[in-house]
Amino acid sequence: MGPVRLALLAVVALAAAGEAVYIPYNTSAGVVAGKLNVHVVPHTHDDVGWLKTVDQYYVGSNNSIQGACVQNVLDSLIPALLKDENRKFIYVEQAFFQRWWRNQNDMIKDTVKGLISSGRLELINGGMCMHDEATVHYIDMIDQTTLGHKFIKEEFGQIPRIGWQIDPFGHSAVQAYLLGAEVGFDAFYFFRIDYQDRDTRKETKELEVVWRGSKSFGSSADIFAGIFPKNYEPPPGDFYFEVDDDSPVVQDDPLLFDYNVEERVNDFVAAALAQANITRTNHIMFTMGTDFKYQYAESWFRNMDKLIHYVNKDGRINALYSTPSIYTDAKYAANEQWPLKTNDFFPYADNPNAYWTGYFTSRPALKRYVRMMSGYYLAARQLEFFKGKSKSGPTTDYLGDALALAQHHDAVTGTEKQHVANDYAKRLSIGYTRAQELVSTSLACLTELGSKSHCSSPTTKFSQCLLLNITYCPPSQTDFSKGKSLVVLVYNSLGWKREDVLRVPVFSDSIVVHDSEGREVESQLLPIASASLNIRDKHVKAYLGTSPGAKPKFWLAFPVSVPPLGFNTYFVSSMKKSASVSSKSTIYSSQGSENSNLQVGQGNLKLQYNAAGAFSLYSDSRTLASGAYIFRPNGTVPIKTDSQVPLTVLRGPIVDEVHQQINSWIYQITRVYKGKDYVETEFIVGPVPTDDGNGKEVAAEIVSNMATNKTFYTDSSGRDFIKRIRDYRSEWKIEVHQPIAGNYYPVNLGIYVEDGNKELSVLVDRSIGGSSIKDGQIELMLHRRLLHDDGRGVAEALNETVCLDNQCEGLIIEGKYYLKIDPQGEGSRWRRTFGQEIYSPLLLAFSEQDGGNWANSHIPKFSAMDPTYSLPDSVALLTLQELEDGSVLLRFAHLYEAGEHKDLSALASVDLKRVFPNKKIGKIIETSLSANQERAAMEKKRLKWKVQGPPADGKVVRGGPMDPSKLVIELGPMEIRTFIVNFERSISGKQLL
């Protein structure tokens, strides 16, 4: 009986000591000088699509895949914040927040506005999504950030000041300086860097640095960058407090079993001291949250209240509710000098055999679709401006929203489940359909005589051909024998005159082309390859649900000349055999040894053909599997070809082509246009065979005899070029485990090598992975088809198929890359100018002329700019967009880095009076990159950080303030300048011209 009696006495003693049930938790702590300050930052990371679609994540459906409901997060967050005025929270993804916001009543909206204005709820980062940084184009990064920042400013009067890119798989220099410093951010926080780099930085206390991402801007675009020590989750010690988490809650009621306050405080302090040992200053950040957490927010806050209360009572350290803004200000106040970081954080690996470089190419069809829609969106917004933004009719808004979602780091990356990839594509398709209607109407307004006033219902009908690349274009199936003509309107969204060659599929071999002034245009007919026609038949029916109908016989190729920011019109019609008609290509076939010294095109450009050597085929296995994220080659396998791969050569006055059927699933066409000094290569790859049970990755190889000394250059998000050295990292010593995957980098614009005498440049039509695995060689990964998952969460093999009539086969990829050789120092002109033309292709619209004369009733040629003016060769117009209030968002970009070209890296000027000769600017304000604050105010308040070491070298060249009377914009190298413009409206309300 003795032991039992003692136990009962202990319980009675506990009950007596615990009579006071209510404990008022003191969470009011701020920063305390002289102590280690632990900034407790509550957050949730909500993927805008990944395992579920964006809408499924929001409403909480399809929970058999993942139990996640963002609506619950936001619904439960507000009352939890209201319980204690010291509680704080940060929210990131505007795509979700805006879905929630529009469903709230006025009372809740007022409450939320109060929380935001007081800093208790901070909308951080501020874009529609947390965009990727490897496979995105900088224009898309700007657009999606601008959309989110615009909403936050209009609804709450707030300007986000902290970048929060915690989950993208590696980080770009463009993110640091352009989407960081240039949008006014004071700091930028993230997690994923190479595991070897992280270990090195822990030892040297260099997880927090000043990142100088731009050679051109130098220290003027420095930003404080904080890398989390382990991940973006709570610290080690089990501090997860969702209702279904396994971590021990803080149990401080002495009347209940499992009282653990001392234990929990000790765990918290231990984690804090461990992190402090690898961090400079007496401030550290605990990221309290992770993916889709706070679905019951009170569970988290209840436990954090207790931790802050008891940790501060303990006294060894100081814990406080905080945000990254408060943390950043504390770091800045410490007056520390910080280590300097340059370049970027690619590639990313999380262990020795796991380089996340496969996603640079994953889902290449989706990547191409995103890039096409991005260029189209740029052009469509221009045409929307010319016509005047509609209050009720079609607009470009839906396409803008769809593109914003597609920049998410599990969208364009290709690292989502298949049904989610389909959802992104569906949204883009809907957006394109609506924007296409707007574009057609705008072009009709611009072409019709007498429609210069605000145009609502033009009679001319234009159609467009999104599937032109696979020879499907119903307007060009016109029966020209009945006196009808195909009207081809060609719109140029660039600010300079453009010369190009169009290709339109036709049926007849008796065709003539005329320009807008009635002059005959030299043209050429090229027989369409059977490989292209096979894609056409299958994919048109698979995607459109209808049979594509009769097959066209020829590509009609003809040169066009289009004025800047304007259009020209061409007419395709039938001619009798005896008359002057389009030239047929001469066809020449070769076999075997004849292939090696075949010359095509004019000039000194010689191409050596080696069919099997033109591609590399990487294989994986179940034990060493590549996946959507990871590229983990298990060696190369030979590409099976016939013993001799025949070449078919087409020659003509416009273009020479070489066709190669490498094997049953690889077809290649190489083109040289007359008067052009670059080579265009079209590839058709797929279905990639997997009958041996292994997944495969297909890479194109360009081989030269250049001595490149392990060095090559790849672009950063389509902007700066960064020097890469094989098996080398400039800031830490790399231990090489994956000599192929570990040397792959993202390529959005291009890749090049040089040897001191010449440069070999390759430009791409979408985001892909690329490298130079051997000296003198460039390789581009074109396609991936895999059979296993790589264990990084998507839980699905990257095995894309196309299904037709209940039969599915692997996806076929059609695309292009472009190659040019230049003298040393001259390649940048082509990379920048032609690279911009690849991004902004000519927009084609088709109509039909049945007799009569188009010029009698239409304007055949148009430019919005002064006819004697064009933008400098070094400047691109990025944005011309009418906003809802009638003001106009205007952006210009300098395309060259400092020192990149001897002439074109100079200061450039844009004369707005000549860009808009028929409009008068009433007011113009320069803003930050995301257009949510005046530029001067942003520069004045942005934090300037101290850097270890000598001061930055060289003078930064930036454009000076704009004189509102002269209206001339100056741009220094790599500079992007953003303006909000108000045009004076005429009495008649004209918007067009």
**Which of 414-418, 646-650, 758-762 bottoms out in mean pLDDT, i.e. has the lowest?**
646-650
CA distance 863 to 568: 9
Residue 593: the pLDDT is 47
Q: How far apart are CA 616 and CA 599, in angstroms?
A: 24
Q: Helices H, strands E: what count in the chain?
A: 19, 47
951 has a pLDDT exceeding 90: no
- Going by the DSSP 8-state scheme, the letter that residue 632 receives in this structure is -
Q: 666 - beta bridge partners?
A: 663, 685
Give the whole-angstrom CA distance, residue 101 versus residue 112.
Answer: 9
Most confident stretch, 2-16, 645-659, 847-861: 645-659
Distance CA 190, CA 61 (A): 29
Could you tell me what percent of the chain has a pLDDT over 70?
Answer: 93
Q: How many CB atoms lie within 10 A of CB 196?
A: 17
Lowest average pLDDT, out of 428-437, 817-826, 983-992, goes to 983-992
Q: What is the mean pLDDT of residues 417-430?
A: 98
Query: Residue 578: what pLDDT?
Result: 46
Res. 989: pLDDT tops 60: no
pLDDT of residue 5: 38
Peptide bond into 347 cis (omega under 30): yes
pLDDT (0 to 100) of residue 574 = 87
Chain segment 546-567, per-residue pLDDT in tens: 888 889 999 999 999 999 999 9
Question: What's the pLDDT at 450?
Answer: 59
302, 305, 311, 313 alpha-carbon torsion, rounded to 10° = -120
Cis peptide before 687 (omega within 30 of 0): yes
Q: Are 899 and 909 in contact (CB under 8 A)?
A: no
Whether the pLDDT of residue 986 is over 80: the answer is no
| Ramachandran region, residue 954 (left: φ > 0; alpha: ψ -120 to 50; beta: rest) | left
What does the alpha-carbon distance between residue 228 and residue 271 come to, in Å, rounded to a whole number? 13
| Res 591 pLDDT > 80 | no
pLDDT (0 to 100) of residue 4: 39
Mean predicted confidence (pLDDT) in 18-35: 86
pLDDT category at 988 given cuts 50, 70, 90 is: very low
Check residue 575 and give its pLDDT. 80
Let me know how long the chain is: 993
d(CA 286, CA 324): 10
Instruction: Convert the pLDDT of each residue in 480-524 to its tens digit.
Output: 777 789 999 999 999 999 999 999 999 988 899 999 999 999 999
Give the separation between CA 378 and CA 5, rounded to whole angstroms.
82
**Euclidean distance between the first and final Cα of the chain, in Å?**
101
Cα separation, 778 vs 794, whole angstroms: 31
pLDDT at 541 over 90: no
Supply φ then ψ for residue 429, to 5 degrees: -65, -40
Q: What is the pLDDT of residue 243?
A: 92
Token pair, residue 491, equals 């719109």
Q: What's the pLDDT tens digit per position in 628-645?
A: 999 999 888 888 776 567
Q: How far apart, in whole angstroms, are the C-alpha atoms of residue 455 and residue 450?
A: 10
Does the pLDDT at position 132 exceed 80? yes
The confidence score (pLDDT) of residue 582 equals 75
More confident residue, 224 or 634: 224
Per-residue tokens: 42: 């509550």
Mean of the pLDDT values across residues 198-218? Answer: 96
What's residue 2's pLDDT? 43
3-state SS assignment for residue 177: helix
Tens of pLDDT, residue by residue over 225-249, are: 999 999 999 999 999 999 999 999 9
Q: CA-CA distance, 331 to 335, in Å (whole number)?
A: 7
pLDDT over 90 (residue 971): yes
Q: CA nearest 452: which of 864, 922, 923?
A: 864
Per 3-state DSSP, the chain is made up of helix, strand and coil in percentages (nearest 5) of 25, 25, 45
Coil/strand/helix, residue 544: helix
Instruction: List helix spans (H) across 205-296.
Output: 261-276
Write out pLDDT tens, residues 294-344.
999 999 999 999 999 999 999 999 999 999 999 999 999 999 999 999 999
| Other beta carbons within 10 Å of 344 | 25
**Alpha-carbon distance 73 to 80, whole Å?**
11
Using the structure block, give the residue that is written with the tokens 């008022």. 24
Q: Are strands 721-725 and 711-715 parallel, antiparallel or unpaired?
A: antiparallel
pLDDT reported for residue 391: 84
- Return the pLDDT at 409: 98
Record the tokens describing residue 414, joined without a space: 């290709």
The number of beta carbons lying within 10 Å of the beta carbon of residue 983 is 19
Q: Which residue has the tokens 């196309």?
A: 802
Q: Using pLDDT thresholds of 50, 70 and 90, give the confidence band for residue 797.
A: very high
Tokens of 209: 């640095």
What pLDDT is recorded for position 604? Answer: 54
Cα 422 from chain centre:
18
3-class SS of residue 513: strand
Q: What is the mean pLDDT of residues 743-761?
A: 97
Whose tokens are 């359909």? That residue is 433
DSSP readout, 694-722?
--EEEEEEEE-----TTEEEEESTTS-EE
Q: Which residues on adjacent β-strands are paired with residue 43?
A: 90
Burial of 553 (0-12, 13-18, 19+ CB in 10 A): middle
Unique residue bearing structure tokens 């389909």 = 422
Report pLDDT digits (tens) over 368-399: 999 999 999 999 999 999 999 888 889 999 99
Residue 990, pLDDT > 50, answer no
Judge whether residue 18 has pLDDT over 70: no
| Range 694-705 average pLDDT | 94
User: 3-class SS at 45?
Assistant: strand
Closest residue by Cα to residue 140 from 375, 362, 359, 346: 375
Torsion of CA 265, 270, 272, 277, to 10 degrees: 160
- Judge whether residue 261 has pLDDT over 70: yes
Q: Which of 72, 83, 46, 85 is closest to 321 using CA atoms?
A: 85
The predicted structure's pLDDT at residue 606:
57
H, E, C per residue of 118-166: CCCEEECCCCCCCECCCCCCHHHHHHHHHHHHHHHHHHHCCCCCEEEEC
| pLDDT tens column, 644-684 | 677 899 999 999 999 999 999 999 999 999 989 999 999 99
| CA–CA separation, 446 and 37 (whole Å) | 63
Per residue in 55-96, pLDDT (tens digit) is 999 999 999 999 999 999 999 999 999 999 999 999 999 999
- Cβ neighbours of residue 942 closer than 8 Å, sequence gap 6 or more: 181, 184, 186
Of the candidates 731, 23, 633, 43, the residue with the CA atom closest to the CA atom of residue 322: 43
Q: What is the pLDDT of residues 609-618, one digit of tens each?
A: 655 558 889 9
* Paired sense of beta strands 511-514 and 223-227, if any: unpaired
Dump pLDDT digits (tens) for 112-124: 999 999 999 999 9
**Which element (helix H / strand E) includes 525?**
strand 524-527
Residue 14 predicted with pLDDT over 70: no
Residue 273 has pLDDT above 80, yes or no: yes
Check: CB of residue 671 under 8 Å from CB of residue 609: no
